[in-house]
Amino acid sequence: MNGQAIETPDARTYFSRGLALHKAGRHEEAEALCKQALERFPRHADLWNLRGVNFRVAKQYARAAACLREGLALAPRDPSLWSNLGNVLKDLKHCETAAVCHRRSLELQPDSVSTLHNLGIALSEGGRDSEALEVYERALAIEPGNADVRWDRALSRLRTGNYAGGWTDYEARIERGDPPKRDMPGKRWNGERYDGKRLLIVSEQGLGDTIWVARYFPMAKKFGGELIVECRPEVAALIESMGMADRIVFKRDPLPDADYHILQCSLPSVFAHQGAPVPTAPYLAAPAGHGERIAAVMKPGKGRLKVGIVWGGSVTYGRRADRDAPLAMFLQWFALPGVQLYSLQKGPQEEDLNSLPAGAPIVNLTPHTKDFFETAAAVAQLDLVLMTDTAVAHLAGALGRPVWVLLNRVPHWLWQLDGGDCFWYPSMRLFRQRAWGDWGGAFDQAAAALLELGNARRGRA
């Protein structure tokens, strides 16, 4: 932050203290100090800049933007103010305006890698990954080892279907400390034979990622000896049912000894570099016995479509607000003639069912599905699962069951940016927002398709 400010020793002292608090993660204290300082020095641009950045950390984006505009009124040629404002506008999903701010910052400081990175993110958030990739290339030409830029280039590459380059960049997550560093047993596995030895596949990321990447576990087993899979308890029975893991360990337990290890989401890269084809779905199977018990709970009316719904994903996911949709919208759009809705929702969002009026047209199956293996049994009894982007989407796709997924404007890279089909799951159909927050359009398309499906069912009855 090097704005054109009215310099006084007292003002700089305030700023230095505030910046130290900000860097230490003490953002509330930094904001209190900035507020106090600006009462004395209202024309100090760096203080407005710092206050804006603190408000952004607190997700108070409107207040952050207001502070940064105040700073720019005082220091219109400060590149950091322009880029920081661009970051806030990107958070507000004003991606086009954010890109203009970053480009103005680059006019003032052309070789700033951080600003190039910020511009690339804003373009990607606006659905312009091809342009974002050009910007990332400029940044990496200046700083080739920047793992943060390589990571975002990975996401843009993968979202646009450039898997060869995307998998290489995807390994940058390890340099970034995501997942957190752990003491791994043995050497990293790079696809060599391990006959008579032991390979450990290490869990990372979310439950959906584990289900998605499980397609590669049988391929890893074919390379040799003992295969150990680390996973979360919720998916342990599901992975065990595949029959290729010699041992399963829970993520909360210490890692066992092994000759080789590999992070689970590095498996696609290993096999892609060997030229192996992507294993297609289905590659999971549902337990038949439990399915009979679930079927007895359902009892739908004759000829009605049995449609499972999920409206919310992991509460720890940082962008949950973008991809989740309210339960009320599911009932508003999908409680249609010839349709019986069933909830597969788990987690705190299951409580949303308690707010529904008596007699709401939905049956809760969650009490009958303690883990993903039992959820698989329920999915197998349904005609369709209709949901936002959560782990159950991967489960239904991996089972080869019909699943429709409602996606936000720029979804997870797996779903790419366009089209209604999914490369990874042939049984999946995608419905997309036209603009950030436009759930109505996506729900309307899905509801029309659902009504047509129900009408076709009744026509055959």
Question: Are residues 308 and 241 both part of a single domain?
Answer: no
Q: What angle do CA 369, 372, 376 make, to 5 degrees?
A: 80
Q: Give a yes or no: residue 4 inside a domain.
A: no
Q: What is the pLDDT of residues 30-77, one digit of tens each?
A: 999 999 899 999 999 999 999 999 999 999 999 999 999 999 999 999
3-state secondary structure of 405: strand
Domains identified in the chain, total number: 3
The enclosing domain of 17 has a CATH number of 1.25.40.10
**Percentage of the chain lying above the pLDDT 70 cut:** 97
3-state secondary structure of 54: helix
Question: Are residues 249 and 298 both part of a single domain?
Answer: no
Which domain, by its residues, includes 450? 288-456
Please say which residue of 144, 175, 197 terminates a domain: 144
Neighbours of 449 (CB within 10 A): 16
Q: Give a yes or no: residue 165 inside a domain.
A: no
Q: Give a yes or no: residue 174 inside a domain.
A: no
The enclosing domain of 262 has a CATH number of 3.40.50
CA distances from 120 to 131, 135, 151, 323, 357 (A): 8, 6, 12, 21, 46
The DSSP bridge partners found for residue 229 are: 201, 248
Distance of CA 62 to the CA centre of its chain: 24
Q: Give a yes or no: residue 425 inside a domain.
A: yes
The enclosing domain of 361 has a CATH number of 3.40.50.2000
Place of tokens 């979804």: 411
Separation CA 451–CA 457 (nearest Å): 10
Q: Is the pTM of this model over 0.85?
A: yes
Question: Are residues 335 and 438 both part of a single domain?
Answer: yes
For residue 136 the two structure tokens come to 């990332």
Q: With b meaning 16 or more CB within 10 Å and e meaning fewer, what string describes 290-308?
A: bbeebbeebebeeebbbbb
Q: What value does the mean pLDDT take over residues 395-417? A: 96
Please say which residue of 110, 144, 178 terminates a domain: 144
Indicate if the alpha-carbon torsion angle 416, 418, 421, 423 is positive or negative.
Answer: negative
Helical axes 27-40 vs 9-23, angle rounded to 10°: 170
Indicate if the alpha-carbon torsion angle 295, 301, 307, 312 is positive or negative.
Answer: negative
For residue 85 the two structure tokens come to 């404002």
Question: Are residues 259 and 300 both part of a single domain?
Answer: no
Per DSSP, 214 falls in state G
For residue 312 the two structure tokens come to 């919310």
Q: What is the pLDDT of residues 318-358, one digit of tens each?
A: 787 889 999 999 999 999 998 999 999 998 999 999 988 88
Please say which residue of 216, 241, 273 terminates a domain: 273
How many residues belong to the chain?
461
Question: Are residues 246 and 299 both part of a single domain?
Answer: no
- How much is the CA Rg of the chain, to the nearest whole Å? 25
For the cut 90, the answer to whether the pLDDT of residue 87 exceeds it is yes
